[in-house]
Amino acid sequence: MHLPLSRRAFAAMLGTAMLPAAVWAQGEPWPSKPVRLIVPTPPGGATDRLARMLAVELGKAFGQPFVVDNRGGAGGSLGTAVVAKAPADGYTLLFTGVFNTINPGLYPKLPYDYVSDFVHIAPMTQGPNILVAKPDFEASTVAQLVALAKKKPSSIDFGSGGNGTSGHLTMEMFQRLAGIRMNHVAYKGTAPALQDVLAGVVPLMAINQDTAIPHIQGGKLKALAVTSRQRNPVFPAVPTFVEAGFSELVVTSWAGLDAPKGTPSAIVERLHDATLKAVQSKDVQDRLSAEGWIPFATTSQADFDKFVRAETTRWLRTIKDAGIQIE
C-alpha cells in the first residue's frame, strides 16, 4: 500500500535529490580569475618569448589573463620548485623546457621530482641546436672537424652558455660518439659565449637555432650541422648529425606546459586542447617557423609524458658519462 506524501516531505526529498546540482551550480568554474604562468628563466630569452606567446593565446581561449611570472635561477629549478609546491587548482602553471629534463642529472638534491611531481600537459614547440663556427674556421663539415680533432687532440676550444646547458651537453655527446676530445669553455650565458665566437676568440659552439639564424644568414657564422632528425627548413642546406653518421645525436630545445601533480583532469584536458589549438593556429605557426621552431610529431598528453621521461633518462646518462657536476 502506498501512502500519499505530504507537500513538505515531497519538497524535502526533491531538495535532497537536487543537492549535487545545486552545489555544482554554486561552484566557480575554472578559470574564474587570472592564471599565473611561472617561467623559470629570466625575461628576454627564447623561453620567455615562447611563454608570452602562449600566454596571450590561452588568455584569449579562456577569457582570463595568463600572467607570466619570471622566476629564473639555478638553471630553472627555482621557478620549477615554486610550481611544485603550488596548489593543484589550475591557477599556477609551469612553462617548462629541456632544462627541466637536464637538471635532475646536474642537481641531485632538487626539492621535487620533475618526472612524477608534475602533470606534463602539452608540448608547444621544439628546435635543434646548430654547431656553428666563424667562416674562416678550417673545418666546414662534421667529418672535417672530427679529422681535425683527432689530428690535434685537446687543442680545439668550444664555448657554451654554461655547464649543463643543452649546447654544452650536445658537444659532450658529439665528442663521446666521435671518439674525440676538445676543450670546453663555459661562459655565464649564451650571449657572451656567442660574442666570443663571433670575435674569433673561441672557434665553435652549439647554439639554439633561433639565436643562430641572423648570424648565419648574415654570413658572420657558418653552420656545420643541426641536431634535429631532419634538416631544418630555415637551413635547408645544413646537414644533420644523423646524415654525418651520428644517429644518436638528436637534440632539441623544447618548450611545453606543466601543472602540479593532482590538478583536476578536466582542467588538464582543457589546457591540453587549448595549447594545441593555439600552437596550430596560422599566426603562431608562422611566428614559430620564422625562428626555425618545428612542431612535435605527436601531441597527446600521454606521448608528451613519455617524451619527458625519456629525455630525463637520456640526459641523466649523458651527464654521468661526461662527469659533469654543478656545485
Residue 327 and residue 321: Cα distance in Å, rounded?
18
Statement: residue 3 has pLDDT above 70: no
What is the mean pLDDT of the segment spanning 235-263?
A: 96
Statement: residue 153 has pLDDT above 70: yes
Q: Confidence band (pLDDT; 50, 70, 90) for 27?
A: low
Contact call for residues 255 and 53 (beta carbons, < 8 A): no
Flag whether 26 is in a domain: no
Residues 45 and 103 both lie in one domain: yes
Residues 112 and 261 both lie in one domain: yes
Domain count, the chain: 2
Flag whether 81 is in a domain: yes
Q: 6: Cβ–Cβ under 8 A, 6 or more apart, which residues?
A: none
Residues 39 and 95 both lie in one domain: yes
Flag whether 104 is in a domain: yes
DSSP designation for 261: T
In this structure, the strands spanning 204-208 and 118-133 are antiparallel
Statement: residue 125 has pLDDT above 70: yes
Q: For the chain, where are the alpha helices, taking DSSP H only?
A: 7-17, 19-26, 46-62, 77-84, 99-106, 142-151, 166-178, 190-199, 209-217, 265-280, 282-290, 301-322
Of 226, 241, 261, the position where a domain reaches its end is 226
What does the H/E/C string look like for 121-163?
Answer: EEEEEEEEEEEEECCCCCCCCHHHHHHHHHHCCCCCEEEECCC
Flag whether 10 is in a domain: no
Statement: residue 16 has pLDDT above 80: no
Residues 144 and 114 both lie in one domain: no
Q: Confidence band (pLDDT; 50, 70, 90) for 178?
A: very high
Residues 219 and 284 both lie in one domain: no
Flag whether 242 is in a domain: no
Statement: residue 327 has pLDDT above 80: no
CATH code for the domain in which residue 284 is found: 3.40.190.150
Residue 95 pairs in a beta bridge with: 257
Flag whether 11 is in a domain: no
Residues 318 and 267 both lie in one domain: yes
CATH code for the domain in which residue 158 is found: 3.40.190.10
Residues 93 and 173 both lie in one domain: no
Residues 258 and 121 both lie in one domain: yes
Q: Confidence band (pLDDT; 50, 70, 90) for 325?
A: confident
pLDDT for 24 equals: 32
Flag whether 94 is in a domain: yes
Residue 293 and residue 50: Cα distance in Å, rounded?
10
What is the mean pLDDT of the segment spanning 56-71?
A: 98
Statement: residue 236 has pLDDT above 60: yes
| pLDDT tens digits, one per residue of 270-289 | 999 999 999 999 999 999 99
Residues 192 and 139 both lie in one domain: yes
Flag whether 233 is in a domain: no
Residues 147 and 281 both lie in one domain: no
Count other Cβ atoms within 10 Å, centred on residue 55.
Answer: 20
Count other Cβ atoms within 10 Å, centred on residue 267.
Answer: 19
Domain that holds residue 45: 35-127+253-322
Note the Cα 233 to chain centre separation in Å. 20
Of 179, 211, 226, the position where a domain reaches its end is 226
pLDDT for 298 equals: 81
| pLDDT tens digits, one per residue of 301-316 | 999 999 999 999 999 9
List the one residue out of 105, 211, 117 whose CA is nearest residue 96: 117
Residues 115 and 154 both lie in one domain: no
Of 226, 242, 270, the position where a domain reaches its end is 226
Question: Mean pLDDT for the chain?
Answer: 91
Residues 183 and 105 both lie in one domain: no
pLDDT for 19 equals: 41
